[in-house]
Structure formats: C-alpha cells, structure tokens
Amino acid sequence: MRLTCEPSDFLRAKIVISQPVGLKVDRMEETLKFHDRQGHGIAAILSTPDGPTPGLVVLCHGFLSGKNSTTNRTLTRLLNDRGLATFRFDFFGQGESDGPFEDLTTTLAIQQAEAALELVTARGYGRIGLVGSSFGGLVAILTTAQRREVDCLALKCPVVDFSEELRLKFGHQELARWKATDTIPNIMGGPERIRLRYAFYEDSLGRIAYEPAERITVPTLIVQGEQDDCVPLHQSRRLYEMLGGLKRLDLLPEADHQFTRGEDFRQMTSSISEWLVAHLLYKAKA
C-alpha cells in the first residue's frame, strides 16, 4: 500500500531517468574518524562517486548494527551509481566507534548524527539527505526536526516511540529485571544478555518523535513491512499523519523487519534511493 500527501502549492513533475543497463560509476571511499561534542571518536566512511556532486546522504544504522550493514552498503552503491555521495558511521559503542554500548542513549545518538551533519556541511555539500533504519530512523526524525541542514528524509521501518516498543517486547517483568541488572535480552536472538543501562529506557521516554515530526517539512519517505514484528506498524501510520510537507508511506505486505525476502529488500532500497535522487540530485539541477 502506498500513501502520498503533498502541500497544495507544491507542483511535482514526473521525472523519467534513463540509465544504460550495467552502467557502474567509479567511487572512492575515505575512512575517517570525527568526534561528537563530548569528544567520543566516531568511525565513518565517506563514499563519493567519480566526479563532483551537489548532494550527500548520511546513513544512520539500526540498533545493534553498524555502518557497514547490508542496507547501508546497498544504498551506498545505488546512490553512488546515481551521482550522490554517502556518509555512513557507527553509533556510540557499536562497530569501530568509541564507547561501551551499555552507555548508549538516544540523546547521545542524536548528538552524533548532528556532528555528522556538521562535518559534511563543512566539507561543502549543499544538498543533504538523511536515512534512518529502525533505531536510526528515530535518530533521523529527531535530528531533522531540529536541524536546517537536512533537505530530504527517508526512513526504513523507523522506531518512533522506543519506550512503547520496549514495553511491548519485554513486558513489565523484563523491564524490572533490566532496571535491576542493567542488562536486556539479546533482541537479535543470541543466548547471552546484553549490557545496556536502564538509563536508555528512561532517556527514550523523553525522545518520542510524534510531536517533533510536526516540525518536519522536508520531503519524507517511510518504508515498512506489514509483517514487521519489531516496530509496531501503528507508529509509522501515526508518524505519517504528523509529518508536514511532501510525504509518502510505502507498506510492503509480505516484508518483515529485516526485509528478509530479496524482492522486499530490493523494493525497499530502490524506493529509498529513487526518493533521495529525485529530491536531492535532480532538484539541485532544476
């Protein structure tokens, strides 16, 4: 199912883009480390197409994931091939970035996304998109709501209210155990518990994205599977209603949270890349 809404004064022309089959654009990747306002080192990769580009997309990965997730690497290839640069990084305590994962909070993740925006802006990129997957979606929403650098937003099964998701997933007994032990079950399916301070949950109570989303007027795409058993589907539906400006909600009937089926994964990554190209690259040329 696809829902689209746009302001009445917004005129959109259909853009037909032709590209020879099999055409690949050479790209360069720069590994770097930057810092947030607290001095934490953040590992990142800047991937640029061969030749100048007006636009760049910052990629925010999901919970217990990393900058080199399958989604991030696929989007980097698709976007570089179309002439957009990408900037992907590891959140605090994940991948190659500083910090123990147990001290992560949504507030800290937002600060790191803001530091990423400041870095790429300082490098001269004039059109910036932001992509967020799951937890990274929450970070992307809250960052876009308070920053002017973002020109376009794309969200893959975004968390909007993490505190609600955690209550639904864990229940009262597991929440009490979390508070007592500062550990949670491995939500990725492993047998051992994961150290994460209960402060993460307390912080999430103040980081619900519905009201901030009302301030977002940049073009925003949401893609979620109707079989998602991690992020409640009603969160994306309510988020869609709260957003201002041009917006689209794509619900894939058979897709789960991970977009496990190849067909669903291709549709998700294609929808996101096309959205970003249309609103960053071609509007910059207009």
- Average confidence (pLDDT) over 273-281: 96
pLDDT value at residue 284: 54
Q: How would residue 31 be classed by pLDDT, with cut points 50, 70 and 90? A: very high
Closest CA to 128 of 285, 286, 281, 282: 281
Q: How would residue 50 be classed by pLDDT, with cut points 50, 70 and 90? A: confident
How many C-beta atoms lie closer than 10 Å to residue 54's C-beta? 17
pTM: 0.89
CA distance to 11, 47, 120, 141, 274, per residue, from 59 (Å): 28, 11, 12, 13, 15
- Average confidence (pLDDT) over 125-134: 97
Residue 11, pLDDT above cutoff 80: no
> CA-to-CA distance for 15 and 89, rounded, in angstroms?
31
What ranges do the domains of the chain cover? 26-161+210-285
CA distance to 68, 100, 102, 192, per residue, from 195 (Å): 22, 9, 5, 10
Q: What percent of the chain clears pLDDT 70, i.e. is strictly above it?
A: 90
Architecture of domain 26-161+210-285: 3-Layer(aba) Sandwich (3.40)
> CA-to-CA distance for 273 and 76, rounded, in angstroms?
9
- Calculate the average pLDDT of the chain: 90
pLDDT digits (tens, 9 = 90+) for 172-193: 999 999 999 999 998 777 789 9
pLDDT value at residue 282: 73
